[in-house]
């Protein structure tokens, strides 16, 4: 039996597919990010009560083997709270474990907030990159945005309502003329679509900001401002705190124009030694 990943509606129940309903009805076990959310969905779809297991980052190591054992002989469906499993949600590590264990995997097509946001933006999609959630720390987040601006391709992101205004402020500080598209509460009753510069979009957001948010950054042809030199040590320290190696840090900072890779490697090595001391 395959392990079946089932996309669920982002907000509008009408987005559920016939195959997704069939997979949920036929499943003998449903693996869910939040069992409470999934119970509500099953109730709305009038699907009889199912055996539900929780699968999330905190318990993945403890439950993965049991999930795969069930999937060898029974129909097991995997869902997250909304959208496509494994896209900034639990799922990718479970798939990797299933592949390694020889358990077949099937992924049903269905709702995906990032793809909807990309298409709605109207930006070029000949090439694009999905970057997930920006870093929470200001220095690391600005590094990510600087790299995206220099990449020359469309980039898509998720962001929390608590941090979207700060993210837009960071973009404004780097490239005030950049083009940004924000979709808030996609497919839901109070959906909002905003297109403009970072400052224009920030000004149009409600205060306080509520709901799920995806945003898209257009390919940028201007010159993004460099990170100021005083930020460099803080950027290295933030990456060390996240567990990145000295080589990874040097490569990432060189990519955004923070200096020569050899010099950055030496500086990161020095910062790492100071932290140990």
- Tens digit of each residue's pLDDT, the chain (277 residues): 789 999 999 999 999 999 999 999 999 999 999 999 999 999 999 998 889 999 998 999 999 999 999 999 999 999 999 999 999 899 999 999 999 999 999 999 999 999 999 999 999 999 999 999 999 888 888 889 998 998 899 999 999 999 999 999 999 999 999 999 999 999 999 999 999 999 999 999 988 999 999 999 999 988 766 655 547 888 888 888 888 899 988 887 776 667 788 889 999 999 998 887 6
pLDDT reported for residue 218: 97
CA distance 187 to 110: 13
How much is the pTM? 0.78
> In the CATH scheme, what architecture does the domain 113-217 have?
2-Layer Sandwich (3.30)
Q: Give the pLDDT score at 53.
A: 97
In what side-by-side order are the strands of the sheet with 180-184? Answer: 128-130, 154-159, 213-217, 180-184, 192-196
Q: Where are the domains of the chain?
A: 3-107, 113-217, 231-276
The reply to whether 113-217 shares the fold of 3-107 is no
Handedness of CA 151, 154, 155, 160 (dihedral sign): positive
| CATH superfamily of this structure's domain 3-107 | Tetrapyrrole methylase, N-terminal domain (3.40.1010.10)
**DSSP assignment of 19-41:** HHHHHHHH-SEEEES-HHHHHHH
Pairing of strands 3-5, 105-107: parallel
Q: What digits encode the pLDDT tens for the residues 202-261? A: 999 988 999 999 999 999 988 766 655 547 888 888 888 888 899 988 887 776 667 788
């Amino acid at each position: 039996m395959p392990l079946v990943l089932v996309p669920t509606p982002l907000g509008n129940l009408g987005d559920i597919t016939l195959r997704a309903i069939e997979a949920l009805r036929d499943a003998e076990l449903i693996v869910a990010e939040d069992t409470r959310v999934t119970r509500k969905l099953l109730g709305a779809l009038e699907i009889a009560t199912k055996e539900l297991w929780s699968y999330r980052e905190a318990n993945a190591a403890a439950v993965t083997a049991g999930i795969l054992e069930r999937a060898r002989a029974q129909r097991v469906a995997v869902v997250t709270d909304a959208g496509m499993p494994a896209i900034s949600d639990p799922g990718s590590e479970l798939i990797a474990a299933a592949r390694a264990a020889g358990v077949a995997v099937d992924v049903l097509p269905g709702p995906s907030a990032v793809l909807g946001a990309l298409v709605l933006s109207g930006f070029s999609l000949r090439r694009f990159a999905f970057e997930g959630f920006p870093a929470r720390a200001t220095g690391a987040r600005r590094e990510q945005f600087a790299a995206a601006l220099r990449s020359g391709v469309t980039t898509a992101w998720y962001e929390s309502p608590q941090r979207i205004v700060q993210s837009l402020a960071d973009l404004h500080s780097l490239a005030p003329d950049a083009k940004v598209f924000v979709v808030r509460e996609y497919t839901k009753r109070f959906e909002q679509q905003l297109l403009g510069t970072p400052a224009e979009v920030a000004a149009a957001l409600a205060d306080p900001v509520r709901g799920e948010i995806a945003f898209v950054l257009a390919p940028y042809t201007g010159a993004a401002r460099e990170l100021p030199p005083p930020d460099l040590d803080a950027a290295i320290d933030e990456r060390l705190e996240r567990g990145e190696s000295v080589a990874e840090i040097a490569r990432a900072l060189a990519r955004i124009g923070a200096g020569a890779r050899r010099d950055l490697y030496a500086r990161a090595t020095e910062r790492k030694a100071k932290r140990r001391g």
